[in-house]
Amino acid sequence: MATTHSSQDSADIYEDTVVIRLIQFSVLWAVIAMTAGVYISAELLWPTMDFGQFWLSFGRLRPLHTNGIIFGFGVSALMATAFYSVQRTSHVRLFAPKLAWFCAYAWQLIILLGGLSLLAGWTSTKEYAELEWPFDIAIAVVWVLFGVVFFGTIARRKIRPIYISNWFYGALIIVIAMLHIVNNLAIPVTFGKSYSLYAGAQDAVVQWWYGHNAVGFLLTGGFLGMMYYFLPKHSGRPIWSYRLSVVAFWAFTYSYIWAGPHHLHYSAIPEWVQSLAVVMSVILLAPSWATMINGIMTVSTAWEKLRTDPALKFIVLSLAFYGLATFEGPMMSFPSVNVVSHFTDWTIGHVHSGALGWNAMITYGTFYFMAPRLVGVPLYSVRLANIHFWLALAGTMLYIVAMWGAGVSQGLLWLSVDEIGELSFSFKDIMASMQPFYALRLIAGLIFLAGTCLMAYNLSKTLVGRKAVVVKPPPVDPAYAIGKEAAV
């Protein structure tokens, strides 16, 4: 299979080696960034665990955790799956494969150096946009090139319709580019320092327009692209309702953007902006659940596969957590709930029900699906993958429950006043009562990380030392083939 071929041949086979490399990088970042997550969990129990070293300090490691996961693990996985699926849904080799390789490696370099710069204290502090301006520029350039490869491939497709997964990946690329550029506008002072173009309340509104939609179009939209390709592919069933996916996509793209200011309830931003965000957050529930239902109905006739196939189990379970997180989100944007949840560990629990339950799990399922197919051998160990599944589920559940406990009690105790309007509890006492919850979260993180390490071992045994299988695009059904009038 791994025969050498002339450049003539390679023009019509899929470029899959770059996909393999991106999967490996993604898994590496998952292990590193989750280890950072476990470490900061431990620091909240034993605050001296930074050993007086500035680079181990909680305030610097936390952004390393979030950026490492979202941009290292998450974006590498999105690039891998986008490259894999856009070729197969377009029936052509990647456009400009060398550029795809450049994107893959340039991205890893940005994450590596960017991570080090965070430890060095270079930060804008804007959440998920902490990296300073030299990295912001590099990210913008690589992102645009990623778009060139992706849309270039679609433009050369052999089949008329653009498959739905590609809309989601497309929205990821376009919207994140817009958000990233606008939110990071700043005046540089030195290499590691700049001042935001926006100040105070206005800066807050721009930041959460970005922050919320980074979650929306990267952690939600991008991963829905994964879902729309791999779920039907893997269950061997077409997507349940095409129309529902059309409507849900546009509703999602339209309404997500408005919801950012729900991160700023009761703050000094204009009231109408907050109210609008509540309304749009509630509306958002509809396309979110429509998509989930579409996914669940798609596998509903293939339940028997769930028993034997860990990859499909991960993907289906991830949809359940997606449903949970997208229900909880709109609830938390009601001012009456937000007043309790905001600033507490409830938010952390909400984030991780999406992060662990949805993002990580669907990625794991997708990797277990792709890896054996990419190199043409069975997965090294299905047993280990099954163990991983249970570890991931247990870790996620424990994490969420611990943070709900912590968050709801923080929220209520902070607000509690007695009959004469005096505070019932001091901040210090409430802080001290969090320790059992933080201990549970640490255990949850260790369990989840252990599962991730099992996967890293399993996938490396499957992938390392093997070459990508040569795959040629299958012929296109003439009814859908692009004819002479081929519009791009």
Per CB under 6 A, residues contacting ligand HEC are 58-59, 428, 431
Considering only 80, 311, 316, 355, the residue that binds ligand HEM (CB under 6 A) is: 355
Beta carbon of residue 35, minimum distance to other proteins (angstroms, whole number): 18
Amino acid identity of residue 457, one-letter, is Y
167 touches, from ligand HEC, other proteins, ligand HEM, none (C-beta below 5 to 8 Å by class)? other proteins
Q: Which residues contact 271 (CB under 8 A, 6 or more apart)?
A: none
| 222 SS3 class | helix
Enumerate the β-bridge partners of residue 194.
188
Residue 109 touching other proteins (CB under 8 A): no
Residue 40 touching ligand HEM (CB under 6 A): yes
Beta carbon of residue 62, minimum distance to ligand HEC (angstroms, whole number): 8
Site string for ligand HEM, 112-131 (x = CB under 6 A): ---------------x----
Residue 478 touching other proteins (CB under 8 A): no
Amino acid identity of residue 352, one-letter, is H
Q: Which stretch, 143-151, 182-190, 194-202, 442-450, contacts ligand HEM (CB under 6 A)?
A: 442-450
Helix (H) or strand (E) holding 345: helix 345-352
Beta carbon of residue 44, minimum distance to ligand HEM (angstroms, whole number): 6
Task: Give CA torsion, residues 362, 114, 166, 97, to 10 deg.
Answer: -110
Residue 198 touching other proteins (CB under 8 A): yes
Residue 59 touching other proteins (CB under 8 A): yes
Q: Which residues contact 95 (CB under 8 A, 6 or more apart)?
A: 148, 149, 152, 153, 155, 156
Nearer residue to other proteins within complex by CB, 390 or 427:
427
Nearer residue to ligand HEC within complex by CB, 2 or 431:
431
What is the distance between the alpha carbons of residues 169 and 160, in angstroms, rounded to a whole number? 18
**H helices within 353-434, ranges in order?**
361-375, 382-415, 427-432
204 touches, from ligand HEC, other proteins, ligand HEM, none (C-beta below 5 to 8 Å by class)? other proteins
Residue 271 touching other proteins (CB under 8 A): no
- DSSP letters of 33-65? HHHHHHHHHHHTTSGGGGTT-GGGSHHHHHHHH
38 touches, from ligand HEC, ligand HEM, other proteins, none (C-beta below 5 to 8 Å by class)? ligand HEM
Nearer residue to ligand HEM within complex by CB, 14 or 314:
314
Task: Give me Rg for the CA atoms of the chain.
Answer: 23
| 455 SS3 class | helix
